């Protein structure tokens, strides 16, 4: 299997167009000791009404509807490895078509993604909110202590039988418009960043009156910053980079 590896804010992915790939192969391929190592696989297929279709396979073999960091990596892959020469790409995902804008000014990659509208479906107490942004999230105003926050994120995901992404906000600075957070992703565990998770945080901050429409906020994940705003239509707009790691081939799926 031929593959390309990319990351965005430390959230790393194997990207391939191998036609015989199956989700069952993901745990072996994503294993960081015996495989390539990644948070997930982005499976590239053609789409009749879009530039490409991106299927997101988590490290445990489950399918995710959407991945904000993954789609930025996927855009750079389409341009560098697949030969698309566009500044605007339409990617078909499990959450519908997503529009992405590519800016390479100064040699740096800046990819802006409209990840759509999100819905705050329920309050889970005074410091926890359930948000749907094409995939499910639980946003929590957590303890500032990193170790305690990790333990709480594990506990909360366990309460939901692993079927939710948990974002723990360690600090919120409304003056600097920054949030420090960690993410425990379903199907992958603790990751360096989560693009849609950041969108869920933005929706929560808007719901609680901390964030106003049009303001740009910087979410500081362990893997690096991603910039967000909520527009007047309620769409979450994300902007960040994507980095090429390496290309290679493996026979791991056949073993």
In a domain, 111, yes or no: no
Q: What is the pLDDT of residue 238?
A: 98
Whether residue 180 sits in one domain with residue 68? no
Are 200 and 248 in the same domain? no
Q: 73 catalytic, yes or no?
A: no
DSSP assignment letter at 227: E
CATH code of the domain containing 23: 3.10.310.10
Q: Does residue 109 belong to any structural domain of this protein? A: no
Same domain, 140 and 48: no
Question: Which residue in 30, 67, 73, 75 is the catalytic one?
Answer: 67
Concerning whether 67 is annotated as a catalytic residue, the answer is yes
Q: Are residues 212 and 144 in the same domain?
A: yes
Same domain, 233 and 249: no
- 44-66 pLDDT tens trace: 999 999 999 999 999 999 999 99
pLDDT at 252: 65
Domain residues for 122?
116-240
Q: Residue 85 class from Cβ within 10 Å (0-12 exposed, 13-18 middle, 19+ buried)? A: exposed
For the beta carbon of residue 30, count every other beta carbon within 10 angstroms: 24
Say which of 73, 75, 100, 194 is annotated catalytic: 194
In a domain, 69, yes or no: yes
The three-class DSSP label of residue 183 is strand
Is residue 212 located within the same domain as residue 99?
no
If asked whether residues 214 and 161 sit together in one domain, one would say: yes
State how many domains the chain has.
2
Buried b (16+ CB within 10 A) or exposed e, 168-186: bbbebeeeebebbbbbbbb
Say if 110 falls within a structural domain: no
Give the global pTM.
0.92
In this prediction, the residues of the chain whose per-residue pLDDT falls under 50 are 254-255
Residue linked to tokens 């000791």: 33
| The pair of three-digit structure tokens given for residue 94, joined into one six-digit string | 């499990």
- The answer to whether residue 12 sits within a structural domain is yes
Interhelix angle for 68-80 vs 195-207, to 10°? 140
Distance CA 59, CA 68 (A): 16
């Amino acid at each position: 299997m031929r593959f390309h590896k990319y990351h965005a804010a430390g959230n790393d992915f194997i990207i391939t167009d191998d036609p015989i790939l199956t989700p069952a192969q993901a745990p072996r391929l994503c294993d960081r000791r015996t495989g390539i190592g990644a948070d997930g696989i982005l499976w590239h297929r053609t789409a009749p009404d879009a530039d490409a279709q991106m299927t997101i396979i988590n490290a445990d073999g489950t399918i995710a509807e959407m991945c904000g960091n993954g789609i930025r990596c996927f855009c750079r892959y389409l341009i560098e490895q697949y030969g698309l020469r566009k500044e605007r790409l339409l990617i078909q995902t499990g959450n519908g078509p997503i529009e992405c804008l590519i800016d390479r000014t100064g040699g740096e990659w800046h990819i802006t993604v409209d990840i759509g509208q999100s819905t705050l479906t329920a309050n889970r107490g005074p410091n926890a909110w359930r948000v749907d942004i094409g995939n499910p999230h639980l946003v929590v105003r957590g303890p500032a202590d990193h170790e305690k926050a990790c333990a709480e994120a594990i506990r909360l995901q366990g309460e939901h039988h692993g079927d939710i992404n948990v974002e723990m906000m360690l600090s919120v600075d409304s003056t600097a418009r920054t949030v420090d957070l960690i993410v425990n992703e379903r199907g992958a565990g603790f990751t360096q960043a989560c693009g849609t998770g950041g969108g869920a945080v933005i929706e929560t901050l808007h719901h609680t009156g901390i964030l106003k429409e049009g303001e740009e906020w910087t979410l500081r994940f362990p893997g690096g910053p991603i910039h967000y705003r909520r527009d007047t239509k309620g769409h979450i707009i994300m902007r960040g980079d994507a980095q090429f790691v390496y290309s290679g081939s493996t026979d791991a799926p056949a073993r």
